[in-house]
């Protein structure tokens, strides 16, 4: 059992939790809790290390034994050590370090989400979860967007990372990814109402920053702006909410064609 928060493995986990640079350099990230570890096991992700406390329930032991069957290193830790390693105030007794392997990029795309400089981890995680639910082929993040593997994004994504291709790439590479797609860009006021756009064709949808909207490069490459009509007095919608409305408008139109 690991009983000291000064253990080298625990120090490394804290660095991975706290610093995007550490995640990039070590090509690893951390997940916590029964739900996320179950998702990782189900979708074939092999952790470098799994930590657990002895108060986990039977589902927790099933996860531990599942990873042990794959030869994954598991270590019991004291509650104090789990608290030191955790990014949450109430740790669930399960934590894993995973490689930044990502999902393979799709060979053919019909629906891509571009996230441009969104900074709130909860918004990005919700957009990832929504994209998975809607069958989006891939999500590409522009420079300036929050790290998709930060603890809060991973928690909000609720397992989307294990099934959905997500990549943070430069604009030059994004241009190649969206070649041949109609590029729609979300705006608070500009463009046509979202229900009047033809979203049945192969497309990329750009959701921009919470406060400023999409940046100049995104606008330069957009074919058509969209807005969500708001009969009330609100100035704008939360980025994740607006993204969900637009993403599922694509789903609605394609189900009707």
Render pLDDT for 134-162 as a digit per residue (tens, 0 to 9): 999 999 999 999 999 999 999 999 999 99
Average the pLDDT over 19-34 and give the result: 97
DSSP 143: T
Section 101-125 average pLDDT? 93
Domain assignment of residue 94, given as a range: 8-99
199 domain-assigned: yes
Within a domain: 206: yes
79 and 161 share one domain: no
Asked if pLDDT for residue 51 goes beyond 90, the answer is yes
Q: pLDDT tens digits for 183-224?
A: 999 999 999 999 999 999 999 999 999 888 999 999 999 999
Whether the pLDDT of residue 102 is over 80: the answer is no
CATH of the domain at 12: 3.30.1330.30
The mean of the pLDDT values for the chain is 95
**CA 57/CA 69 separation, integer angstroms:** 18
Assess whether 147 and 244 both reside in one domain.
yes
Together in a domain, 83 and 26:
yes
* Same-domain status, 142 and 74: no
Domain co-membership, 64 together with 117: no
Domain end residue (candidates: 75, 99, 123): 99
Whether residue 130 sits in one domain with residue 52: no
Q: Are residues 219 and 121 in the same domain?
A: yes
- Residue 82 CB neighbour total at 10 angstroms: 24
Same-domain check for residues 95 and 120: no
Give the pLDDT confidence score for residue 45 in this predicted structure. 96
Q: In the structure encoding, which two tokens stand for residue 146, read together? A: 């929050």
Contact by Cβ (8 Å): 147, 23:
yes
């Amino acid at each position: 059992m690991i009983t000291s928060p000064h253990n080298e493995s625990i120090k490394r986990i804290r660095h991975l939790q706290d610093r995007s640079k550490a995640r990039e350099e070590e090509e690893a990230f951390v997940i916590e809790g029964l739900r996320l570890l179950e998702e990782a096991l189900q979708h074939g992700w092999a952790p470098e290390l799994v930590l657990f406390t002895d108060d986990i329930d039977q589902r927790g032991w099933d996860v531990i034994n599942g990873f042990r069957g794959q030869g994954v290193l598991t270590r019991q830790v004291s509650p104090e050590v789990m608290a030191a390693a955790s990014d949450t105030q109430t740790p669930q007794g399960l934590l894993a370090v995973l490689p930044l392997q990502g999902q393979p990029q799709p060979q053919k795309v019909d629906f891509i989400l571009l996230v441009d400089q969104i900074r709130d981890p909860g918004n990005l995680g919700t957009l990832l979860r929504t994209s998975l639910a809607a069958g989006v082929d891939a999500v590409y993040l522009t420079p300036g967007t929050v790290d998709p593997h930060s603890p809060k994004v991973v928690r909000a994504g609720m397992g989307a990372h294990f099934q959905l291709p997500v990549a943070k790439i430069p604009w030059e590479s994004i241009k190649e990814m969206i070649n041949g797609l109609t590029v729609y860009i979300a705006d608070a006021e500009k463009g046509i109402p979202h229900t009047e756009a033809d979203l049945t064709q192969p497309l990329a949808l750009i959701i921009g920053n919470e406060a400023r909207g999409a940046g100049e490069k995104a606008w330069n490459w957009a074919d058509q702006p969209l807005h969500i009509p708001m009969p009330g007095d609100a100035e704008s919608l939360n980025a994740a909410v607006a993204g969900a409305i637009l993403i599922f408008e694509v789903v609605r139109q394609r189900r009707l064609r």
